[in-house]
Amino acid sequence: MNAFEKKYKPFKKQFIIPTIVFILCAVTSIFLFYQGKARSIDPPKTSFLVPGTTILDLTQSGRYTIYLELDTLFEGKHYEAPEVIEGLKCEVMKDETKIKVEAADLSYSYNRNGQKGESYFNFTIEEPGSYTIITTIDNEQMKEAVLSVGLKNEKMVRVLQFTVGASVLMLVGIFEFIGYMIYGLIKLMIYKTKLKQNTY
């Protein structure tokens, strides 16, 4: 290879390496995506009708999530709800002590076996025991709905991490592939132009 070719002619590895990197990124991102899917949330087990007062025996301390059932069958009756119910309020009590209830910090949803729901509230308890959940709906358009409660699924954090990681890795692979291909093609065009001009 003479000096001209060494300077201008693109090497095969300039096309092969980005292709290999892209394939590796794609395979890894698909793996991460399916890992996240495998860790997806399980539907909560305890459901109750609102408005009303429900006493639940919570057997573990920790952070709980209350889900709004968007499409579900409860006690033989089918219920549907919008993702947001204006005027839906919830209180959690332990004896005479009020437990702080706040809007769900992250949006978790599930759709399993016809049961579809989305996170709505969070609360944290320091000790297991019987807790009273008081719910009201100040909404003329929505008289009843179904809520369900369960320990906040920490697996969802992993799901988000896997999903974000897969997306970022795929984008890196795409941009790396496109960038190197453009660079290689430009170099190839320059090489052919210089070759025609016989400037070496």
Matching residue, tokens 């799901």: 159
pLDDT tens-digit series, residues 19-62 = 777 777 777 767 766 665 555 555 566 889 999 999 999 888 88
The pLDDT score that the predictor gives to residue 100 is: 94
Q: Is the pLDDT of residue 167 over 90?
A: no
Domain co-membership, 63 together with 28: no
Number of domains in the chain: 2
Single pTM value for the model = 0.57
Domain end, chosen from 118, 136, 152, is at 152
Q: How far is CA 160 from CA 107, 110, 167, 181, in A?
A: 11, 14, 10, 31
Domain co-membership, 117 together with 165: no
Residue 105 belongs to some domain of the structure: yes
Domain co-membership, 73 together with 138: yes
- Alpha-carbon span 149 to 30, nearest angstrom: 32
Domain co-membership, 33 together with 54: no
Domain co-membership, 76 together with 141: yes
Domain co-membership, 105 together with 131: yes
Print the domain residue range for 100: 46-152
- Alpha-carbon span 148 to 43, nearest angstrom: 9
- Alpha-carbon span 140 to 78, nearest angstrom: 19
- Alpha-carbon span 59 to 172, nearest angstrom: 45
pLDDT tens-digit series, residues 60-115 = 888 888 999 988 888 889 988 888 888 899 999 998 899 999 998 767 777 777 77
Domain co-membership, 116 together with 173: no
Q: Which amino acid is at 20?
A: I
